[in-house]
């Protein structure tokens, strides 16, 4: 079942180092939320009582809450195809390495080179220095099977616990994938990962925006590759200041039902604030 973890029934104090999984006999749905103001600035300092969570338009009781810097598992997917040769790939490598330097020692990361397949060039670990070295060795090669690569990346995260994120940097043009865009979106709906597509080019592919919406991440369109550093820094800041909300669905989950349930999160009495969270999960 998507987005469900075993959490305790008591709220987690904001001052405590929060973790995404707790031990309990009650199964709760986990939702990670990013809150921004009208100018796009991050809103911090909110408390459990400030939030409202709805599942299939029915209000849910928030049973677990945490705010702050959660341990993170993140995958960096870098398009290394021939269409990225030159300055785009050079800057993608430099910005990815800078992002890794911003991670905390307990955070885990993985680096994947996207070409005709999704090659793991640095396995999942907290050795960010080794991963920076692996990224440095990337040279342009092959074509872009972007759809297949995103699905393969999400598959590799299957079974991982806690807060998961996937950052994909590409020119957004898929070539020779077996999977259609609709299949990528469906796979994203089955994953707990926040997806952050970064596209360099003149237009944002519809898939990039859709993946961000369904997962609770954010998509970026970069017309000048020199803006990459700022983009990666923005993502790093967002991942440091999120909220974890846990609730036990009022409607019981039936094993094997495989039913889609929508999720909506908002801040009470603050319509000017925007909340980004995944749009639902498959129950059962």
Residue 33 has pLDDT above 80, yes or no: yes
pLDDT digits (tens, 9 = 90+) for 179-200: 999 999 999 999 999 999 999 8
- Map residue 95 onto helix, strand or coil: helix
| Sign of the four-CA dihedral 197, 200, 204, 207 | negative
Query: What does the domain layout of the chain look like in residue ranges?
Result: 4-69+241-283, 72-239
Residue 17 has pLDDT above 60, yes or no: no
Residue 11 has pLDDT above 70, yes or no: no
Token pair 């999704």 is at which residue? 118
| CA distance to 8, 204, 282, per residue, from 253 (Å) | 18, 37, 10
- Closest-CA residue to 135 (of 72, 103, 89): 89
Per-residue confidence band for 201, with pLDDT thresholds at 50, 70 and 90: confident
The DSSP string of 227-239 is: GHHHHHHHHHHHH
User: How does DSSP classify residue 135?
Assistant: H
- Closest-CA residue to 164 (of 70, 248, 254): 70
* Strands laid side by side in the 108-114 sheet: 118-125, 108-114, 72-79, 163-170, 194-200, 220-222
More confident residue, 70 or 115: 115
Quote the mean pLDDT of the chain: 88
The pLDDT assigned to 202 comes to 83
pLDDT digits (tens, 9 = 90+) for 107-145: 999 999 999 989 999 999 999 999 999 999 999 999 989
Q: How far apart are CA 199 and CA 94, in angstroms?
A: 16
The pLDDT assigned to 278 comes to 95
- With a pLDDT cut of 90, the percent of the chain lying above it is 71
Q: Are 191 and 158 in contact (CB under 8 A)?
A: yes
The pLDDT assigned to 75 comes to 97
Per-residue confidence band for 14, with pLDDT thresholds at 50, 70 and 90: very low
| CA distance to 149, 202, 246, per residue, from 180 (Å) | 12, 22, 33
| CATH number of the domain located at residue range(s) 4-69+241-283 in this protein | 2.60.40
- Closest-CA residue to 8 (of 66, 56, 70): 66
Q: Which ranges of the chain would DSSP assign to H, the alpha helix?
A: 87-101, 128-136, 146-157, 181-189, 206-215, 228-240
CATH of the domain spanning 72-239, picked from 3.40.50.300, 3.40.50.410, 3.40.640.10, 3.90.226.10: 3.40.50.410
- What's the angle, vertex CA 118, arms to CA 19 and CA 258, rounded to 5? 55
Residue 213 has pLDDT above 50, yes or no: yes
Residue 15 has pLDDT above 90, yes or no: no
Paired residues of 58 in beta bridges: 55
- Map residue 261 onto helix, strand or coil: strand
Q: How far apart are CA 278 and CA 272, in angstroms?
A: 19
């Amino acid at each position: 079942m998507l987005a469900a973890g075993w959490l305790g029934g008591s709220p987690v104090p904001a001052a405590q180092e929060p973790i995404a999984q707790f031990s309990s006999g009650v199964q709760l749905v986990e939702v990670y939320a990013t809150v921004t103001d009208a100018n796009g600035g991050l809103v911090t300092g909110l408390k459990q009582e400030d939030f409202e969570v709805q599942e299939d338009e029915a209000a849910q009781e928030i049973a677990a809450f945490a705010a702050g810097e959660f341990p993170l598992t993140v995958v960096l997917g870098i398009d290394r195809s021939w269409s990225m040769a030159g300055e785009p790939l050079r800057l993608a490598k430099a910005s990815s390495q800078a992002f890794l330097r911003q991670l905390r020692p307990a955070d885990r990361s993985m680096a994947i080179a996207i070409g005709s397949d999704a090659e793991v060039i640095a396995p999942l670990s907290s050795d960010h220095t080794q991963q920076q070295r692996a990224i440095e060795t990337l040279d342009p090669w092959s074509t872009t099977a972007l759809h297949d690569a995103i699905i393969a990346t999400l598959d590799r995260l299957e079974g991982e616990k806690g807060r998961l994120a996937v950052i994909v940097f590409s020119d957004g043009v898929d070539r020779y994938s077996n999977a259609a865009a609709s299949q990528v979106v469906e796979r994203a709906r089955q994953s707990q990962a926040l997806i952050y597509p970064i596209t360099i080019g003149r237009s944002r592919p519809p898939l990039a925006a859709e993946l961000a919406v369904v997962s609770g991440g954010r998509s970026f369109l970069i017309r000048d590759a020199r803006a990459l550093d700022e983009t990666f820094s923005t993502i790093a800041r967002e991942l440091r200041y999120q909220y974890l909300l846990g609730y036990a669905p009022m409607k019981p989950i039936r094993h094997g039902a495989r039913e889609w349930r929508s999720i909506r999160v908002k801040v009470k009495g603050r319509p000017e604030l925007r909340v980004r969270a995944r749009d639902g999960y498959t129950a059962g």
